[in-house]
Amino acid sequence: MNEFDFETLCAIGLNHNLATQWFSLPQAETCSLMRVIEVQRDWLHVHDGHTEYAGRVLPALSAELYAAGTGLAVGDWVGVKAQPQGEWWVHCQLAPQSHLARRANDGRRQPLASNIDTALLVMGLDHDFNLRRIERYLALVQAAGVMGVVVFTKVDIGHEVEARMAQLHERLPRNVPTYAVNALALATQQELAPWLGRGQTLVLLGSSGAGKSTLTNTLSGSSVQQTGGLRQGDGRGRHTTTARSLHLCPEGACIIDTPGLRTWRPDADADSLAATFEDIEALAQHCHFRDCQHGDEPGCAVRDVIPADRLLNYHKLLREVRRSQQTPLERKAQQAKWKVIGKAGKQRNQEKRRGNL
């Protein structure tokens, strides 16, 4: 069996459950356990707690992951073996304890990060501010079993900071931790200290220009990520991070920076996503009808209490989840159904116009 240094691997996020899983695999006899710290197409970088190595994924493992509709992500734990020619090959993957992914247009999963303890949901207090988006991110990470922490950046240059924070607290559940920080200030390390303990893994999620790379540099204590300004005119951010990567913070936490998310299609089931809207689910128990959609139904206990925009976001996410879970045949059947409805509506309009003539 290859040498196994539990304490060293713990410093980059290993825990007892993952270690137990590793020793149950036959590859533990011949491979070394390492963590994926960067993925770039055919190559990836892995770390054993001391040294970083560049490697490739064994074709058999690639085929297995592809058949399962997924792939390796930053944060994964893998079994790696050196070949006589000096190349490193990934032979196996430990089943991740948590996994964030999004759905592509073709329905396949696009991995974002694995084995995450906390997701820092980053949003700027400037043109980037969007309550519906932060609510969406929070619902999706919670549905994946990951704790979400909302971090607003650019508090030093933001617009209507106090009013926006008040809107956030009114909109989100009270148990969601929220922070407003200057991502450039070292004081941010102290403010986010509860989430930076040794062996903890965090992922930063947000749009381009939200300040994720700046925050990564501040929390890691070094300029590990390139940063950039905003575009003139619309204030939108530039893509300075082009690949997901893992970095070590002085306090011992591992932090994963990600490229800006333009869209995030849900990768969750309807029940787990609905459970993240605890306030709506609790009130729904008092609706007159068990299958109340919180629209025009009489006796609805939700409609007049929950903000209309939050309720709209809730319904939109559920529709997207149900659509992503449809089979190709179900999608075709739904398209055919709406095509028939559309034709019928068009015909009725034509008949009305003829009658008016």
Give the tokens for residue 141.
Answer: 């990470």
- Over residues 135-142, mean pLDDT: 86
pLDDT over 90 (residue 343): no
Beta strands 99-103 and 77-82 are: unpaired
Q: Which residues pair with 56 in a beta bridge?
A: 43, 89
pTM over 0.75: yes
Instruction: Phi first, then psi: give them for residue 231, nearest 5 degrees.
Output: -70, 145
What does the buried/exposed string (b/e) look like for 11-49 if buried means 16 or more CB atoms within 10 Å of the residue's CB? bbbbeeebbeebeeeebbeebbbbbbbbbeeeebbbbbb
Question: What pLDDT was estimated at residue 48?
Answer: 92
- Of the pLDDT bands very low, low, confident and very high (cuts 50, 70, 90), residue 228 is very low
Give the tokens for residue 249.
Answer: 């913070």
Question: What pLDDT was estimated at residue 2?
Answer: 66
SS3 sequence of the chain: CCCCCHHHHHCCCCCHHHHHHHHCCHHHHCCEEEEEEEEECCEEEEECCCCEEEEEECHHHHHHHHHCCCCCCCCCEEEEEECCCCCEEEEEECCCCCEEEEECCCCCEEEEEECCCEEEEEEECCCCCCHHHHHHHHHHHHHCCCEEEEEEECCCCCCCHHHHHHHHHHHCCCCCCEEECCCCCCHHHHHCHHHCCCCCEEEEECCCCCCHHHHHHHHHCCCCCCCCCECCCCCCECCCCCCCEEEECCCCCEEEECCCCCCCCCCCCHHHHHHCCHHHHHHHCCCCCCCCCCCCCCCCCCCCCCCHHHHHHHHHHHHHHHHHCCCHHHHHHHHHHHHHHHHHHHHHHHHHHHHHC
Question: What pLDDT was estimated at residue 174?
Answer: 80
Give residue 204's identity as a one-letter amino acid code: L
Contact 225, 240 (CB under 8 A): yes
Instruction: Phi first, then psi: give them for residue 324, nearest 5 degrees.
Output: -70, -25
Express as a percent the part of the chain with pLDDT over 70.
86
**Domains in the chain and their CATH numbers?**
6-97 (2.40.50.140), 112-257 (3.40.50.300), 270-324 (1.10.40.50)
pLDDT over 50 (residue 22): yes
Least confident of 20-29, 260-269, 291-300, 309-318: 260-269
- Of the pLDDT bands very low, low, confident and very high (cuts 50, 70, 90), residue 107 is low
pLDDT over 90 (residue 118): yes
Question: What pLDDT was estimated at residue 239?
Answer: 40
What is the rounded distance in angstroms from the CA atom of residue 316 to the CA atom of residue 184?
35
